[in-house]
Structure 1
Amino acid sequence: MAIARADETDLLLPLHEGVHEARPWTTFLTRLRQRVRADEAGLIISAGLEERETHLLVPATATIPDDRSWRRALRPGRAYAIEEREGFGRVVRVDEPGGAAAWLAMRRKERDFTAADAALLARLAPHLAIALRTRRALDQGRAALELSEEALARAGIAWVGFDGDGRILSMSKGAVAVLGARWAGSGVGSVVASLKDDAPQVVRVRDEASPWILLIPYREPLEASWPRLATIGLVATRRMGDEQARAAVLATLFGLPPSEAKLAAAIAGGASLSEAADQLGLTIETARNYSKRLFAKTRTRGQLDLVRLIGSSVARLV
């Protein structure tokens, strides 16, 4: 039996749109609860092998049964009665191709659900599977973006994506901080549109006092249904840095004691030997003695060589 036209509007649209809600599918669960006159509606999502579950309940005080062994024994796509001492319930299991599973459930305290209510739950199952797959892809994309943002921020890099006409498609948080949320690429669009082959260009963002932006042509491997990314703009930002953490990394990389590792971290941060001594509360003679042992252990010939070594190691990312 097909889903009624009214249910397409009241249930299917909120179900598919619910992947974009901050608390996903809250509107859908509210509508489902109203549609079948249930006291409670809930969605329990399991992240597969991690055994990590998310419970989305309407109202927030709902008490959908939480027996994992019983739920996991259900066949996907079929509506089952929930066995409990007080009240009546129905649940359907949905498996997502990526390995997640979900259970859509509803409960009443006073009277049992009809066969039509259970059938509606079963008919919603394939649509819920699609919505789960979409939400999983969105969450994975967000996680990848957050990791990329963190890594690039540590390296002191921000990015802007342009289409073929020089319009901004997206900006990293670092780029927003440096260029401003309302920056529209004034004076850059014509340069972006004129880029040829694989020749990078550098231009000022706005005027002589503004940051430089490096423009690199991008060849997108897949066709997209929206404006395609044509150019990547890279902007240098202030690197995230933690000298204590960098000293700990340097100690591990080169087998340095804490005192020498702290001196190496200070020098790598741009301090001269005397400045590093002041920062660390050392006399200049003590700093010189540390530096000699430091150069010997790292097989470097002086401060410049040491900075170059650290700059080519993973310690520069801390």
Structure 2
Amino acid sequence: MALAPADETDLLLPLHDGVHEQHPWATFLSRLRQRVRADSAAIIVSAGPDAPDVHFAASAGQGGSGDRAWRRQLRPGRVYVLDRDQGFGRIVRVDEVGSASAWLIVRRQERDFTAADGALLTRLAPHLGISLRTRRALDRSRVELALSEQALRRAGVGWIGFDADARLLSMSSGAQAVLGPRWLAVGVSSSVAAALQENAVKVMRVRGDMPHWLLLIPCSAEPPATGSGAAVIGLVAIPRNGDQAARAAALSAIFALPPSEARLAAAIAGGASLSEAAAQLGLTLETARNYSKRLFAKTRTRGQVDLVRLIANSVAALV
């Protein structure tokens, strides 16, 4: 039996749009609860057998969902009766691609649900599966973006995406912090066009409170199904909050250095001269020279310039 037109409007649209809500599926669950006159309506999502359950609920009271092991034994797409110790309830399982599963649950204290209520849950189950896949894809994209942002901030890089017409598509949080959220440089159109036409890297100066340089690089990102694709990525240097103590610990682990020598290496890598590094660390210049000789021997470098180059090409430079 197909869903009624009213159910398509009142339930299906909020179900599919619910992936974008701050509290996912809140509108759908509220309307489902009203539709079947339930005290509570909930979606439980589990990413796998060992993953914790995530609950999304609209409730006028408390309602159980059954034992987790029991829930995992349910056949997808079939409506089951819940334990009546907590009133009347119905549950249907939805299997998503991969190891994730979801359960749609309704409960109420007075009188049992009808066969029509159960049939409604059955018809909603495949749509919940589609919505769950969409939400998981969005969550993965958010996680990947957050990780990329943190990694680029650690590396001191912000990015700006432009389409082929030099329209600004998006900016990283690091670039926004440096340039401002509504930044648009004079001459960016011609610079983007030149980068595309010549298929070459271009550099342009950005003026603001502080002058910055923007590196424009043609990119071959796959265009999205809708909207404009990125044609050029702009890279801008952003301030890095380096942790010298953490860098020294990393250098100690990478090159098997004792703490004193690792701290000297970190100071030199941070731009200090040998005498400046000695002053920072409370060492005599003679002691710093002795440490540096050991550093060069252990890292197989020929001097400070070679040592800085070695560290800059190691993961310690990202600390």
Does the TM-score normalized on the shorter chain lie above 0.5? Answer: yes
Distance 1:180 1:222 in 2: 26
Q: Distance in 2 between matches of 1:282 and 1:261?
A: 14
How does 1:75-224 map onto structure 2 within 5 Å? 75-194=75-194, 195-206=196-207, 209-222=210-223, 224=225
Deviation at 1:5, TM superposition (A): 0.9
**Quick one: structure 1 residues 249 and 61, their matched pair in 2 at CA, closer, same or farther if it must change by over 3 Å?**
farther
Letter of the structure 2 residue corresponding to residue 229 of structure 1: A
Task: Tell me the number of residue pairs that the alignment of Structure 1 and Structure 2 aligns.
Answer: 318
Instruction: Give the Cα–Cα distance (whole angstroms) in 2 for the partners of residues 61 and 277 of structure 1.
Output: 67
Whether the 8 Å contact between 2:218 and 2:231 is mirrored in structure 1 is yes
Counterpart Cα distance in 2 of 1:45 and 1:76: 14
SS in 2 for 1:110: coil
CA distance in 2, matches of 1:292, 1:264: 11
Aligned to 1:6: 6
Aligned to 1:227: 228
Structure 2: gaps of 5 or more residues = none
State the TM-score, normalizing by the size of structure 2. Answer: 0.95
Q: Which amino acid aligns with 2:247?
A: R
Which one-letter code corresponds to 1:175 in the other structure? A
1:269 aligned to 2:238?
Answer: no
Contact in 2 for aligned 1:153/1:240 (Cα 8 Å): no
Q: Give 3-state SS (helix, strand or coil) of 2:128's partner.
A: helix
Which deviates more, 202-211 or 112-121? 202-211
Equivalent residues of 1:168, 1:185 under 8 A apart: no
Give every structure 1 segment of 4 or more consecutive aligned residues whose post-TM-superposition deviation is greater than 6 Å: none
Q: TM-score, normalised by structure 1?
A: 0.95
The offset of 1:196, in angstroms, is 1.4
Distance 1:304 1:49, change over 3 A: farther
Q: Per-residue displacement from partner, 1:215-241 (whole Å, max 9, x unpaired)?
A: 111123355321111111011112242
Opposite residue 267 of structure 1, the aligned amino acid is: I
Query: Which range moved further: 44-53 or 255-264?
Result: 44-53
Residues 220 and 26 of structure 1: is their aligned pair in 2 closer, same or farther, counting only changes over 3 Å?
same
Of 197-206 and 54-63, more deviation after overlay is shown by 54-63
- Residue deviations 1:185-206 (CA, integer Å, cap 9, x gap): 4431232134314211111124
C-alpha distance in 1 between matches for 2:281 and 2:59: 57
Partner of 2:68: 68
CA distance 1:63–1:241, change in 2 (3 Å)? farther
* Root mean square deviation of aligned Cα: 1.7
Q: Structure 1: any 5+ residue segments left out of the alignment? A: none
Distance in 1 between residues matched to 2:232 and 2:247, nearest whole Å: 34
What's the % identity of the aligned pairs?
Answer: 65
